[in-house]
Amino acid sequence: MAATPGATTEKAPAAGAGEVEGEHVKPFTPEKAKEIIMSLQQPAIFCNMAFDWPAQHWTVNHLSEVLRGKQIRFRMGMKRTDTVPQFETTCGSVEAALEDFLSWNCDQPTMSGPFRDYDHSKFWAYADYKYFVSLFDDKADIFQDVIWSDFGFPGRNGRESTLWIGSMGAHTPCHLDSYGCNLVFQVQGRKRWHLFPPEDTPFLYPTRIPYEESSVFSKINVVNPDLKRFPQFCKARRHMVTLNPGQVLFVPRHWWHYVESIDPVTVSINSWIELEEDHQARVEEAITRMLVCALKTAEDPHNTGAWLNPTEVGETSHEVNCRYLNRAVSALFDHYRTSKVVEIQALRTSREDVKKEGSDVHSRTEVEQTGGQDLVLGTGKQEAASPFGPDLVPVILSSEEVPSERGGRFEGDGKDFVGKDGEHSGKLHCTKRQRMMSKSEDAIVEQIASNSTAPSQTFISTDDLLDCLVNPQVTRIVAQLLIQGRSLWF
């Protein structure tokens, strides 16, 4: 394979051997990959960046040998085409070893074992959100099998990663992640990703019930939407792609996503990359947690399982949540102080460099004036070239339309939405924040207008109130006001 600009040549070791087999070319240096990740605002697939990762051999069979009977929690969902999302609070669960999962997934009748109550023809199983540090607590050396440093994050490996193992049909409901951006390495099988840009949030009808820190769910089953109940969803811009083994998907901050396993067995590894915006986002999440827990606990103090995701295992008392909010605000200001010191130091260094450079200007100017008559100094910035190509494929706007009637399932395979050699016809998502916010505000007005013709609801539930109070746009404003008021004391 011919080298592309910015490529780096590496020698790929055989799995577990560490011996050089030959030269392989990666299309992007770690520095270039990170530059792309930190600037790109559209989902994209990196190709040929993880061919030498030992983790590429982490099939379920291999992992079952590594874990040797370790019990893992599987979420059990139904293979159905309902218009209601299958949130974790409505799913069953099974504690089982990977060997048990493999036996059950052979689609043979199981009269015993942990999966005995779940007919394989009617259910799917998903071991999701399995943090490496918990799963491989006695096998720390395995962390080195995942090499996120290839994407410009030195020292980042499996320790900061999460494992996902699923059967066909296993999926996560449509949601956005409050923190960071996401890198997803597909190891075994294929997954279909449905993605929607942040500015389409009003069309996704966000909710915080069930509550899970850092996850904002959509009320809509995006593969089988109820457009009579959620008419604004037809305006959402679906981007769809099928992620194949060996590929790494980049999901930018706050992009909504619904992910489904479309092969009998799938294995994925992901890592959430921290961003500058996360410091304020933690304050927003703390506000959300306090409101949700206060109102829902007051409504029914003995039934937290109905609204609290099983992943939330911490105490939910008001006192604990208040401490959590104060820690988030303190951490934000600590970050501000540190950033300010670094900024001042950088400014001083920059001024010293300018002074030093200025002392040499006179002598250089004389040389340029005598020998550089044809020299032309550019005054404008050169337009940045598109990073897309055969090794970085954009996830573009789906050409499929959402079903127009209730019960019509979305069945696109994602293959038609990526052009040849990474070309695409959709616009890149490099929208300015101001434009994004105004668009969202317009959408809210339209949503209210469209709902005004519906029959009036005489009863407003706690969840209805919460959906307004902890809407991401509202908590962002509340966090900003809280931070502004607190800053008066510093």
Over the stretch 219-249, which tens digit does the pLDDT of each residue have? 999 999 999 999 999 999 999 999 999 999 9
Report angle CA 430, 3, 378 to the nearest 5 degrees.
50
Domain that holds residue 479: 276-351+471-489
Q: What is the mean pLDDT of residues 17-27?
A: 61
Is 175 in the same domain as 285?
A: no
Counted domains in the chain:
2
Is 231 in the same domain as 295?
A: no
In three-state secondary structure terms, 358 is helix
Is 324 in the same domain as 230?
A: no
Question: Has residue 185 been placed in a domain?
Answer: yes
pLDDT, tens only, 94-150: 999 999 999 999 977 667 899 999 999 999 999 998 999 999 988 989 999 999 999
Tell me how far apart the alpha carbons of residues 443 and 20 are, in angstroms, rounded to a whole number: 56
Tell me how far apart the alpha carbons of residues 170 and 83 are, in angstroms, rounded to a whole number: 16
Is 91 in the same domain as 167?
A: yes
What count of other Cβ atoms lies within 10 Å of the Cβ of residue 231? Answer: 16
Q: Which of 426, 386, 432 is nearest to 198 (CA)?
A: 432
Question: Has residue 143 been placed in a domain?
Answer: yes
Question: Has residue 376 been placed in a domain?
Answer: no
Question: Has residue 409 been placed in a domain?
Answer: no
Is 238 in the same domain as 304?
A: no
Please report the pLDDT score of residue 10 as a whole number. 41
Is 46 in the same domain as 183?
A: yes
Lowest mean pLDDT among 187-201, 312-326, 395-409: 395-409
Lowest mean pLDDT among 239-248, 370-379, 436-445, 462-471: 370-379
302: phi > 0 → left, psi -120 to 50 → alpha, else beta; which?
alpha
Please report the pLDDT score of residue 356 as a whole number. 58
pLDDT, tens only, 367-412: 344 343 333 334 444 455 788 999 999 999 987 655 544 344 555 5
Identify the residue with better confidence: 268 or 129.
Answer: 268
